[in-house]
Structure 1
Amino acid sequence: MTTNLIVGAGTGLDHWRNARCLADMRPIDLTRLVPDGARAVIIAPHPDDEILGCGGLLQLLHAAGRSLLLISITDGTASHPGSTAWPAERLRQVRPQESEEALTRLGLSGLNWVRGGFEDTQVATCEDAVSAFIKQHLRPGDVVFATWREDGHSDHDAVGRASSRAAKAVGATLHEVPIWAWHWAHNDDPRVPWKRARKVCLSPYAIARKRYAAQAFTSQLEQDPSTGLEAVLPAPVLERLLQPFEVVFIQE
């Protein structure tokens, strides 16, 4: 898959709310997803992916007392190309700070967190190094949640592939999380591995707290005054990621 899938307004929220594939999707219990005693590792290509893809799951894992590790691959410096309001140097500072604030809003301040500092939009060009970086932070028995390797964004795809290799090398379990797929896919889309898809159901409180955390990413939520471009995460995109569940493609 290529980044040209992420164009236009994308698949509407009403479509997903009425999608049979989601209505029929089996839920999965947290104790099955991350067994007692296992550590959960969330791997985010960019600051905000950990919240958009796993903000509810993170809350459940924390409440259940699971050990947690967050790995951020890039600092998200390429989100505003050509911008004078959001140059790469500013984004390198601000975007991790936004993630820190978002985690605090989830009650996860002090979360064990490592950052790779790889170049945003270029992860596929250094995939071996990314896999090696991930591998050094994993241990046998970990349950890893990475972006789906066919999510439609080059960094997301590369992180999924690199995470798969690293998990296999150390004896960890890998589950994949769709994020941008909700933009280009549709009900029963044959490109999506629906048979592996499971729902992590979220309470209204968990959804509200995830929404509050997502609002910490100011750089992504506001129009860029220097270019006139709309927000990276306009309201319709964000709303698609704030449904009463999160989806994981489980390892078979």
Structure 2
Amino acid sequence: MREPLMTAADWRAHPAYGTVPRIDLLDPGQAWSRLVVVSAHPDDESLGAGGLIAAAHADGLRVYVVLLTAGEASHQGAPGSSRHALATLRLAEMENALARLAPDTPLVFLGALDGQVAEAERAIADSLTDLLGDAEHTLLVAPWSRDGHPDHDAAGRAARVAAERSGAHLLEYPVWFWQRHTADEAPWEQMVCLPLSEEFRETKAAAIECHASQVRPSSDSPGTDALLPDRMLSHFAGTHEHFVWTPASLPTTEPTDG
């Protein structure tokens, strides 16, 4: 994994960090009653929106998480890491993470193939639309469609279609963007943030640790580095979570068939 272009400390020193408009989950003008979080892989939800999930649960919103893939391709070629074994492991890790963030949160697994979310994009958009129903008072949160990871980008596009169809309010969370770009490239004018209390920061950190296959070296392969090294994880340990506030509008191209 290449070194980040900016460290987490550099990002937090930027004048826009934490100063964009704040999310108020209890804003009576929004009257949100439900939070639906889309995760392309197990761990995306904890990294990008773990604090938001914990805060929504604490504020009494109904929370649902929709997982697109089991992340079964994360250790391709590593000894003792078949796709089936990884899928089983990572699904269990996600259930443990959600138990930390928002106990008893329903997890909906759509079963797309890791690395091939774009091929199932139309079906995912349809499934999200059905799940959302009348979503005027729903906050839909998904990976950012410009995050730079193909699965994340496709997940964001599908969520945008579902938001347009259902009337949900859409927030998109960057994951890889923090690692691969600089603060001057961030769409600050479109961003909002959620300040995280110390309690929610600790809850989020505990949820991320539940994804042990991604954040710790493999015990089956001594010397193997963690997929998410500390220099990347530090981007998700800050005092704020940032999201791109995306007006619901159909993308220029229709989702692909799957």
TM-score, normalization by structure 2:
0.88
One-letter amino acid of the structure 1 residue matched with residue 144 of structure 2: W
Partner AA of 1:57 in structure 2: L
**1:210-249 maps to which residues of 2 (within 5 A)?**
210-224=204-218, 225-226=220-221, 228-249=223-244
The answer to whether residue 130 in structure 2 is matched with residue 136 in structure 1 is yes
Report whether the alignment pairs 1:42 with 2:37.
yes
Q: Match for residue 96 of structure 1?
A: 91
Kindly tell me the number of residue pairs found equivalent between the two proteins: 243
For residue 118 of structure 2, what is the aligned residue in structure 1? 124
The CA deviation at 1:34 is 9.1
What per-residue deviation string (whole Å, max 9, x for no partner) do you get for residues 163-196 of structure 1?
101111122221111111111121221xx32111
**Do residues 185 (structure 1) and 168 (structure 2) align?**
no
What one-letter code is carried by the residue in structure 2 that aligns with 1:164?
R
C-alpha offsets along residues 107-141 of structure 1, whole Å, 9 cap, x if unaligned?
x2321220011000111122111211222211222
Q: Is the CA contact (8 Å cut-off) linking 2:65 and 2:108 kept in structure 1?
A: yes
Other structure's SS at 2:37 match: strand
RMSD of aligned residue pairs (Cα, Å)? 1.8
2:202 aligned with 1:208: yes
Pick which of 129-138 and 40-49 moved more.
Answer: 129-138
What amino acid does structure 2 have at the position aligned with 1:223? P
| Larger deviation, residues 217-226 vs 51-60 | 217-226
CA distance in 2, matches of 1:23, 1:99: 28
Superposition TM-score, scaled by structure 1 size: 0.90
Q: Does 1:153 align with 2:149?
A: yes
Q: Which residue of 2 aligns with 1:85?
A: 80
CA displacement at 1:37 relative to structure 2: 4.7
Work out whether residues 193 and 249 of structure 1, in 8 Å CA contact, stay in contact via their aligned partners in 2. yes
User: What SS does structure 2 have at the residue aligned with 1:215?
Assistant: helix
Letter of the 2:151 partner, please give it. D
CA distance in 1, matches of 2:204, 2:145: 24
Of residues 57, 62, 68, the one that matches 1:62 is 57
Counterpart code for 1:185? H
Moved more, 111-120 or 135-144: 135-144
Q: Which residue of 1 aligns with 2:255?
A: none
CA spacing shift, 1:227–1:126, aligned 2, 3 Å: farther
Q: CA deviation at 1:36?
A: 3.0
Is it true that 1:109 corresponds to 2:136 in the alignment?
no
Q: Deviations over 1:49-100 (max 9, x none)?
A: 1111111111110111111111000011011110123221111101111011
> Could you tell me how far 1:30 is from its partner in structure 2?
2.0
In structure 1, stretches of 5+ residues that fail to align are: 1-6
Instruction: Find the aligned partners of 1:49 and 1:65 in 2 and give their Cα distance.
Output: 23
Q: Which amino acid aligns with 2:194?
A: V
| Contact 1:202 1:244 survives alignment (8 Å) | yes
The 8 Å contact of residues 82 and 227 in structure 1, kept in 2 or not, is answered as no
Q: CA deviation at 1:249?
A: 1.1
Question: Is the partner of 2:16 in helix, strand or coil?
Answer: helix
- Alpha-carbon distance between aligned partners in 1 of 2:182 and 2:165, rounded to the nearest angstrom: 34
Query: Unaligned 5+ residue runs, structure 2?
Result: 248-258
